[in-house]
Structure 1
Amino acid sequence: MKIDPSTRAPIAQPTRNTERTSQTGNAVPADDLSVSINPAAAELGQTDSAGAPFDSERVAALRQAIAEGRFSVRADAIADKLIDSVKELLGR
């Protein structure tokens, strides 16, 4: 089947929306938008560098293992640590 380029519809170009809708449903200019971060979320974003040292040799070894296909993901270990992390965050 041959496609005739003269019958194709033109492709619409995307336009940038410079207005957003507020919670009340009114249009708000993009320049007037503000963002606030929940204090609990801000606390999660803070890192304790003294409690978690960066081991560049370990990172290099992991990168090499991934590149060589020797690295295996243990889903059960990841799930266990994720659950422990959530319990700690919830204070349980």
Structure 2
Amino acid sequence: MKIDQAGKTISQPLGRSGERTVVGKRSEASSSDDSVTINPAAAQLAGAEGGSGQVFDSERVQSLRQAIADGRFTVRTDVIADRLIDSVKEFLGK
């Protein structure tokens, strides 16, 4: 969705095949509809967050913040690279 300088929605064609489009009303003051296109991969990732509904562990975040502040946090680039390669392979189905 694009918005011009006056704040009006500019029509554009829908996305690639396989994408879902969500349409909803803006507000009572506006009579135009908003639309959002969700890539299938993004929808799959959203479903992969788990059944707990919890997005992050606040205690883990606090411990990481403290480790960074104390200078104890180290970045393992080899582990990051390996996991990134594994996730790309899984995403591509290989």
- The Cα RMSD (Å) is 3.1
Task: Give the strand-richer structure, 1 or 2.
Answer: 2
Between the aligned partners of 2:8 and 2:31, the Cα distance in structure 1 is: 5
**AA at the equivalent of 1:87:** K
Gaps in structure 2 of 5+ consecutive residues: 14-29
What's 1:68 paired with? 70
**TM-score if structure 1 supplies the norm length?**
0.53
Task: Give the helix-richer structure, 1 or 2.
Answer: 1
Deviation, 1:62, is 2.2
Between the aligned partners of 1:69 and 1:89, the Cα distance in structure 2 is: 34
Between the aligned partners of 1:83 and 1:71, the Cα distance in structure 2 is: 23
- Find 1:22's aligned residue among 6, 9, 12: 12
**The structure with more radius of gyration:** 1
Task: Check 1:84–1:16 CA distance in 2 against 1; reply closer, same or farther (3 A cut).
Answer: same
Gaps in structure 1 of 5+ consecutive residues: 1-14, 24-28
**AA at the equivalent of 1:67:** A
- 3-state SS of 1:67 partner: helix
The structure showing larger relative contact order (alpha-carbon pairs under 8 Å, at least 6 residues apart) is 2
- Find 1:89's aligned residue among 85, 88, 91: 91
Within a 5 Å distance, the mapping from 1:1-92 to structure 2 comes to 17-23=7-13, 31-46=32-47, 47-49=49-51, 58-92=60-94
Query: Deviation above 2 Å: which 4+ runs of structure 1?
Result: 15-21, 29-33, 38-41, 54-63
